[in-house]
Amino acid sequence: MNQVLEIERCDLNIKNNNSSHHTDLNGEERLIVRRGEPFNIILHLKPGSKEFKLDESSFTFIVETGPLPRKESDTQVSFNLCNSTVDTEWSASAINNPSENTLCVYINSSPNSPIGVYSLSLDQEGQKTHLGQFTLLFNAWCPRDAVYMHNERKRKEYVLSQHGQIYKGTYKRIKGTPWNFGQFESGILDICLKILDENPKFVSDADKDCSARRNPIYVTRVLSAMINSNDDRGVLVGEWYDFSGGVHPGAWIGSGDILHKWAESGPVRYGQCWVFAALACTVSRALGIPCRVVTNFRSAHDTDANLVIENLYNDNAEKISSDSIWNFHVWVDSWMTRPDLGPEYDGWQTSDPTPQEPSDGVFCCGPASLRAIKEGELTKKYDTPFIFAEVNADVVDMLHLSNGEVIRFSGSTKSVGCFISTKAVGSDERHDITHQYKYPEGSKEERQVYEKAQHHNKLQQRGEEPGLHLKIKLADNMILGSDFEVYTVLTNNHMEVRTCNFLFFANAVSYSGKRGESCGFASDKVEVLPGEERRLSLKLKYDSYGSVITSDRLIQLSAFAFDKQTIDYSKTEKTIVLDEPDIDIKLMGDATVNQPVTANLTLLNPLPEQLQDCSFTIEGVGLTDGKPITVKTGAVGPKEEAKASVEFSPSSSGSTVLLVNFDSNKLSNIKSFVNVVVKEGETN
């Protein structure tokens, strides 16, 4: 008969295991390991127990995950003790230490195991002992894992880094916004696992869903649907117009606050694309999937799936079509293999949790292989045609005349998908990754890919290039709160005189390209000789634009010129982003663990009017205990400084980032950050 060892207790060796599995930033309260890599536990035997001998033992370990563990679903696995572990499947080996009456057991998980919370038990001749729980994550350090990333610097950036930069603005004025991902902060991992358990696929078939969690493709698609709340009790409610009853999307500076609010009370109000993407990045990194946040400037939203953005105007220069081009749009790329597509499609995969268009009846998007997007392989799942159009659609401008005739008067093959950006590895610099998504604009390869993608919808070019040309010229300083002048130049490249109606509009616009109210208009009727230029100026006054612009601080300028006699038209647009004030951040003294330190914050009000309800909010990993700290400063007069002193006590040493946000009734979502090095406290 095989021996049955009497076990007094099991030491999960949390500190050492978490350190070797790159999960030590989660703390030491629980065992968190990455799949495909061994961890060890120490079994303390009761006094007087027999000495352990492998050939006389009957050790069967059982690991289980999910509410309905089953061997057929690989959510329940049994494996015996062997001479050594095997790196391709669940296995265990042991080293006996008779002097300490302990047995050190090494357990290796399968690199294809479902992720989640597992229970670990030991069966000896039918006598079962519960040894404890552990959480299993994807493993970018394991070559056999589907998310393996061979470069250590990239693993540190895309799995372990808790802060980043999200790029916003316009393609000509790109601005990095700091964000606290905070995937290792207290409670966040549990919330990320709760997101998986709240998804409708789990609710309808928990066994099938838990089994599918072995696959990062499946998990990423679930997250794409669950980060928004359109079809479920997902994390974030999207809103682009009315923000009453919630938090303005621009006010968030980190993911932790949103995730905690969701866990406590359900869908959180409100988010826009960069918030959806930041949350997806936090959850992906927390679960072990390498992830980066990506911004696409001049991002097309193709509503009819013909790979063409059709801007249709009436003869009053009013747009009457539904296709649009967003000033910028933010999504995420996740790193994984694509066995469903073939090895050539491995690597970065795009997914987008912002609810734009349904996919298989659900508001989600991706993951789509970057290789498939770049090569125009639109039959490759998931949602490749939609993302291809976002970065590579052609644009056609058409006029719908009062007699019913539709005339194409301009267009572009190069205006969509500009300066696709993500944070550089190991620094706060912007890294341009446009070349990963598309061939150079206008190149032979780019046109070949587009024509292949078009299939039978290829745009038929017709007509000659118009002979009227427009350009918009900007002022040097366009500071929020100031008045400034812009102008447009009309050039007649015909050999004949043109008599033109000349219109120049200024409208508030959201980052998604939706026009708001007018903040300026000028018009003229001009006779333009061959080769001649005519200029039309427009004064943009704060009194006009201040009350209508959104917190994106964007103004869209549109110029039109048309000669109705010769049916000759020209149009140009330019979106400007107004300069915002800086926040001055000064730390008063060194930052030391468990010692209070004060940050002095200053912002100059650039507006010619008083700011009400002013406040500064700070947040930082290891600095503010996972929660934002807000200090209200009341009213600040025009051209006066808003000031605040905020005290916080760092909880851990090392390099981190302090994020700051300023908010008020007239000036909001002003962000800045400072790098902080926290010193160890003195020990007695």
pTM: 0.87
- What single letter denotes the amino acid at residue 530? P
Please tell me the predicted confidence (pLDDT) of residue 48.
77
Neighbours of 227 (CB within 10 A): 32
183: closest CA among 253, 307, 84, 279?
Answer: 279
Give me the pLDDT at residue 649, please: 95
CA distance 330 to 133: 37
Q: What is the mean pLDDT of residues 215-236?
A: 94
- pLDDT > 70: percent of the chain: 97
Q: How far apart are CA 217 and CA 205, in angstroms?
A: 18
pLDDT grade, residue 2 (50/70/90)?
A: low
Q: Sign of torsion, CA 225 227 229 232?
A: positive
Q: Please say if the pLDDT value at position 381 is more than 80.
A: yes
CA distance 484 to 489: 17
* Residue (of 61, 132, 127, 123) closest to 94 by Cα position: 61
CA atoms within 13 A on the CB side of 340: 14
Q: 277, 258, 282: which is closest to 268 by C-alpha?
A: 258
Centre a 10 Å sphere on the Cβ of residue 544 and count the other Cβ atoms it contains.
Answer: 18
φ and ψ at residue 334, rounded to 5 degrees? -120, 145
Strand intervals (E) in 226-375:
236-238, 268-271, 291-301, 308-314, 324-336, 347-351, 368-369
| Other residues' Cβ atoms within 10 Å of the Cβ of residue 452 | 13
| Residue 394 marked ligand-binding | yes
Indicate whether 270 pLDDT > 80.
yes
Mean pLDDT of 431-444: 90
* 569, HSE (Cβ side, Cα atoms, 13 Å): 21
Residue 463's pLDDT is 32
User: In angstroms, rounded to a whole number, what is the distance separating the alpha carbons of residues 76 and 218?
Assistant: 20
Q: At what angle do helices 273-287 and 188-198 cross, to 10 degrees?
A: 100
Distance CA 141, CA 471 (A): 52
Average pLDDT (385-403) is 86
| Range name among 450-459, 490-499, 517-526 with the lowest pLDDT average | 450-459
Backbone angles phi, psi at 25, to 5 degrees: -70, -15
Helix or strand or coil: residue 214? coil
Question: In angstroms, how far is the first alpha carbon of the chain from the final one?
Answer: 55
Contact 139, 148 (CB under 8 A): yes
- Asked whether residue 115 carries a pLDDT value surpassing 90, the answer given is yes
pLDDT for position 604: 96
Each residue's pLDDT tens digit, 156-214: 999 999 999 999 999 999 999 999 999 999 999 999 999 999 999 999 999 999 999 99
96 is in an annotated binding site: no
Choose between 7 and 107: higher pLDDT: 107
pLDDT in tens, 121-167: 999 988 999 999 999 999 999 999 999 999 999 999 999 999 999 99
Share of the chain above pLDDT 90, in %: 73
pLDDT of 462 over the 50 cut: no
Q: What is the C-alpha to C-alpha distance for residues 334 and 113, in angstroms, rounded to an integer?
A: 19
Strand partners, 600: 586, 645
**Do 445 and 374 form a contact (C-beta atoms < 8 A)?**
no
Backbone angles phi, psi at 191, to 5 degrees: -65, -40
Q: Which amino acid, one-letter code, is at 6?
A: E
Query: Residue 461 has what pLDDT?
Result: 31
Question: Which tens digit of pLDDT belongs to each residue from 612-657?
Answer: 999 999 999 999 988 999 999 999 999 999 999 999 999 999 999 9
* Residue 436, pLDDT above cutoff 80: yes
How do 670-679 and 591-592 pair as beta strands? parallel
pLDDT digits (tens, 9 = 90+) for 607-616: 999 999 999 9
Per-residue pLDDT at 485 exceeds 90 = yes
> What is the Cα–Cα distance from 260 to 263, expressed in whole angstroms?
5
Tokens of 623: 């600095």
Among 40-49, 262-271, 355-364, 409-418, the range scoring the smallest mean pLDDT is 409-418
Tell me the torsion sign for CA atoms 452, 458, 464, 468. Answer: negative
Q: At what angle do helices 255-265 and 188-198 cross, to 10 degrees?
A: 50
pLDDT tens digits, 315-325: 777 777 777 88
Residues belonging to the active site: 273, 329, 352
pLDDT in the model for residue 446: 81
Residue 162: closest CA among 654, 679, 648: 654
Q: What is the model's pLDDT at position 561? A: 92
Q: Buried b / exposed e across 32-56, counting CB within 10 Å, b at 16+? A: bbbbbbbbbbbbebeeebeebeeee
Q: Is 6 known as a binding-site position?
A: no
Compute how many other C-beta atoms are within 10 angstroms of the C-beta atom of residue 60.
17
Instruction: Give pLDDT tens digits for 68-95.
Output: 999 999 999 999 998 889 999 999 999 9
pLDDT band, very low/low/confident/very high, at 466 (cuts 50, 70, 90): very low
**Residue 465: predicted pLDDT:** 43
Q: How many residues are listed for the chain in this entry?
A: 684
Residue where the block lists tokens 């902080």: 676
446 belongs to an annotated ligand binding site: yes
Task: Please tell me which residue, 305 or 273, carries the higher pLDDT value.
Answer: 273
241 touches 210 (CB < 8 A) = no
What is the average pLDDT value for the chain, to the nearest integer?
A: 91
**Higher-pLDDT residue of 56, 481:** 481
Residue the block writes with tokens 């061979």: 150
Residue whose C-alpha is closest to residue 386's, from 373, 395, 399 = 373
| Tens digit of each residue's pLDDT (9 = 90 or more) over 561-613 | 988 888 888 899 999 999 999 999 999 999 999 999 999 999 999 999 999 99
Q: In angstroms, rounded to a whole number, what is the distance separating the alpha carbons of residues 603 and 642?
A: 5
3-state secondary structure (DSSP) of residue 216: helix
Beta bridge partners of 559: 504, 572
What's the pLDDT score for residue 176?
95
Could you tell me which residues are beta bridge partners of residue 621? none
Radius of gyration, alpha carbons of the chain: 29
